[in-house]
Chain A
Amino acid sequence: MPFIPNTDKDRTAMLGTIGAGSVQELFSDIPSDKRYPKLGIPNGISELEVLREIESLASRNLCASSSAWFLGAGVYNHFVPAAVPALATRGEFLSAYTPYQPEVSQGTLQAIFEYQSMASELLGVDTVNASHYDGATALAEAVIMALNHGGTTRNRVLVPAALHPEYRQVLATYLAAFSVRVEAYSEAPAIAVATVDAETSCFIVAYPDFEGRVHDLAGVADTVHAAGALFIVSADPIMLGLLKSPGSYGADIVTAEGQSLGNAMNYGGPFLGMMGVTQKFVRKIPGRIVGQAFDHEGRRGFVLTLTAREQHIRREKAVSNICSNQGLVMLMTTIYLEALGKSGLQAVASLCWNKAHHAAKLIAGIPGFAVADGTFFKEFVVKTPVPAAAIVEKLEPRGVVPGLALSRYWPERTHELLVCVTEMNTAAQIDTLVQSLKEAAE
């Protein structure tokens, strides 16, 4: 077996050293009637056979690289430069453990420090952690932070009605043990913020929201803070290459789904939960954090720091139970941000903006179709003359994935399609989409 090098000769020698008659004898503590059950799964097969089997499975999914792809809704088809996976999958990164031994983990630790530096700049915060499981769990943990901060009298959580429905569901799961009221607001944040009161723990804004709308957040923070609550923003990091950061609007905690920064869609995971906070909350943020340190010769290095917040030290009083995180995904994001740099990220964001607005204009011109009002970045809602789900069903087999029928999450919203346009979509693909929508509605 290629992954188990011991030979019979090795085993005999080792058993002799141990003083055991057989390998089976080593398991004598296990109840004898339960030992060696028949598992009912097949015996092992070769690498060649396994890969053939998996290639066959992988070919049975609709794939963005062979389609005109306009589906986003929290999972985005963005360009991943070749350097990103080439570098991140080097064995020295891929097969390394959590960097608890800093002397032999400087590669991982410095990469995390660089991630923290760039991600905090992008989100507009003082510190980010490294990392959460995805954008949804990052937001849930941000809310828990706010609840712990606000104390027992603040048990109202205000969320936008247009928060990603799966984020809302994850939030509900995470908050099962808290007696809180999660209330959804439908107005623009600048208006809804007036309802923040002394019982409110946090006011959450999605930037952009699930329907793609980008709200101006000027003044929101002041109102939230005047009521003593925290301002949490869940953001799209690609958009932040072009538009103002949540931190610049005064957010206390910023979370984001980092998948779009250098990671494939991978059927929804692994993704990257980003979370950043202002200075005030540095010692309350969950997750691992890396800091700069020096050795006795004055050489600069990096270590995991502020660990007293974490479960392995504080156990039941820890700020979160998180341990394993999304390290490798975060590394991909780090490489992505360094490869694109300032001008590259700005260019990607501008391409998304321009192409999405071009597509929206053309779609709005199709008879029977309309585009929802409001400022958007790369996603927008299209009102369709026939049920959106029927359009999706008709076009998917043709290699055109036109977007998400909102009826998937809101059964009553039958005639709405959420369309996403990124730098991956060419002008020709946009034309194909427009033509296909026209045909599908006929």
Chain B
Amino acid sequence: MNLRPEPLAYELSSPGRVGVSLPGCDVPETPVPSSLLRVELDLPELDELTVVRHFTRLSQKNYSIDTQYYPLGSCTMKYNPKANEAAAALPGWRGAHPLVSDAHNQGAIELIYRLQESLKAIGGFKTVSLQPAAGAHGELAGVFMIRAYHLAYGNPGRVKMLIPDSAHGTNPASCTMAGLTTVTIPSDAEGGVDMERLAAECDDTVAGIMITNPSTLGLFERNIEKIAKMVHDASGLVYGDGANMNALTGVLRPADVGIDVMHFNLHKTFSTPHGGGGPGVGMVGAAASLAEYVPGPIAAEKNGKYSMEMPSKSIGRIKAFYGNFAVLVRAYTYIRMLGADGLVRLAENAVLNANYIKARLEKVYPVKYPRRCMHEFVAMGNFIDGIHTLDIAKRLIDYGFHPPTIYFPLIVPEALMIEPTETESKETLDAFIEAMLKIAEEAKSNPELLHDAPHGTPVGRLDEVAAARNPVLCYRG
């Protein structure tokens, strides 16, 4: 890592410098009315090499998959194949415009169509829309669809969405945006949905349930078919949060167990890069019940001609144009390289790797629900007084590993959520396990090492309280 402080671009600026050469004006000039003209524009002034060094040095202050192992639960930080990038960077995509007629964008629409078809097959869906730009965006589309369905059937009173307590925060937040109220369903002793509580809530105000399967505890919901039936019998619909699809590709089609609508995060399961926060794609797949409600337009094919069409009962556009297209190219590339056989191996090795780490760590790091896990599991970091999960996470950085997801799900105290993914070798997993075991020993022998961690990073633990009390959000002189 680059430990040297890197000045802000504004601090590197020197008046008169520029980092790009532009052509001169080859047409007669037209004066701008002075009433409209901007007087001040305080942007940094840098030469190109300074810009290149600045961002190269900044990049070296990051952990990334290309440099470090990232056992980040629920985030599926798998390797992002370089072929994905090569495919997405083709000039034929970069220069394509969504408002050119479909006849002159056949390549782009055909790619969308093929990806839709692949994802339909993987999920068992009737329709797939690639419009949503992120998992939460797909969720939003899904709950809008459920709401639209109930309104179309003359049931405006169905506004109650059931959400297990292990769910991602985006689930209830999406419901609020769609005008639905949420009821939390607790987990039972086995980490599954409490069936009695669910039954009690299945009344005539139920819009549906949002279920993450495998759950954020890394456990497959064994009652999924019963849950779906119970909700369907109450005329509700089942939303599947597909954040954890990495455990299931080629092994289970979610629609086969009663899911009506679901999002997949293409930036998790299908290897498109996280980019330090995005862009993602939150594909929405729907079973027959909701097939016509998906956001549009979506790609259609007729006699070898491709076009973008709006489904008949669509909730409409959820984003301008046709989704995060360049991300779709990456996901398509990956799915083609893996194919049906590779998708099965993906899920199998993801689950194998998680169970392997769990088997080697669970005697030291207690696991609240000790069942066999799927692609991830949730351990706890409070096995000794005075040490918290945060300390373990920060100490892992000293060993060259990105910390697991911490303090989530909320129902496990001091949670350490570990997801290895299938793209890591046994040697890497072993090195991570050794580091975790070593840290557990240090927690007893030398707890200060953990409290002060991390040590070899560009900055130590930052004062987040001061930062939030008096926020400084911009450089100003």
Contacts and interface: CB of A to CB of B under 8 A. Distances in A.
Contacts of A181: none
Contacts of A342: 41-45
A298 to B, nearest CB: 10
Interface string A211-248: 00010101000000000000000000000111111001
Given A47-B83, A57-B110, A295-B460, A29 B100 contact: no
Nearest to B280: A324
The range of chain A's interface size is 35 or more
Interface string A21-43: 00110111111001111111111
A96 interface: yes
B277 A95 contact: no
B19 A339 contact: yes
B41 A136 contact: no
Interface in B175-231: 175-180, 182, 219-220, 222, 224-225
Contacts of B385: none
A88 B54 CA distance: 12
Contacts of B68: 104
Nearest to B268: A324
B56 interface: yes
B333 A62 contact: no
A13 interface: yes
B96 A62 contact: yes
A340 B65 CA distance: 30
B41 A338 contact: no
B372 A121 contact: no
A130 B95 CA distance: 25
B93 A3 contact: no
Contacts of A41: 117-118, 121-122, 335, 339-340
A45 B323 CA distance: 26
Contacts of B177: 144, 174, 177, 320-321
Nearest to B174: A321
Given A58-B92, A267-B96, A30 B52 contact: no
B387 interface: no
Contact of B173 (A38, A307, A320): A320
Interface string A117-151: 11011100011001101111100000010000000
Contact of B35 (A47, A116, A216, A245): A216
Contact of B319 (A20, A133, A392, A401): A133
A270 B176 contact: no
A391 B474 CA distance: 47
B48 A339 contact: yes
Contacts of A218: 35
B127 interface: no
Contact of B333 (A50, A83, A106, A135): A50
A6 B426 contact: yes
A176 B315 contact: yes
Interface in A44-73: 44-47, 50-51, 53-66, 69, 71, 73
Contacts of B356: 14, 17-18
A387 interface: no
Contacts of B93: 58, 61, 264, 266-267
Contacts of B274: 95-98, 324, 327
Interface string B127-156: 000000111110110001001100000000
Interface in A322-343: 322-331, 335, 337-343
A87 B26 CA distance: 31
Interface in B321-370: 321-327, 329, 332-333, 335-346, 348-349, 351-353, 355-356, 359-360
Contacts of A256: none
- Identify which of A38, A51, A127, A292 gathers the most chain B CB atoms within 10 Å of its CB: A292
Interface stretch (B73-81, B232-240, B283-291, B439-447): B73-81
A316 B472 contact: no
Interface string A288-321: 1111111111011111011110111111111011
B19 A90 contact: no
A265 interface: yes
Interface string B435-458: 000000000000000000010011
B94 A340 contact: no
B300 interface: no
A270 B139 CA distance: 18
A58 B437 CA distance: 49
A268 B92 contact: no
Nearest to A418: B99
Q: What 10 A-B pairs come out closest when comparing CB atoms?
A: A177-B179, A268-B321, A327-B277, A328-B275, A58-B92, A91-B66, A44-B339, A60-B107, A268-B98, A321-B173
10 contacts: A14-B352, A26-B352, A51-B83, A88-B55, A96-B64, A267-B97, A293-B463, A296-B460, A299-B460, A318-B169
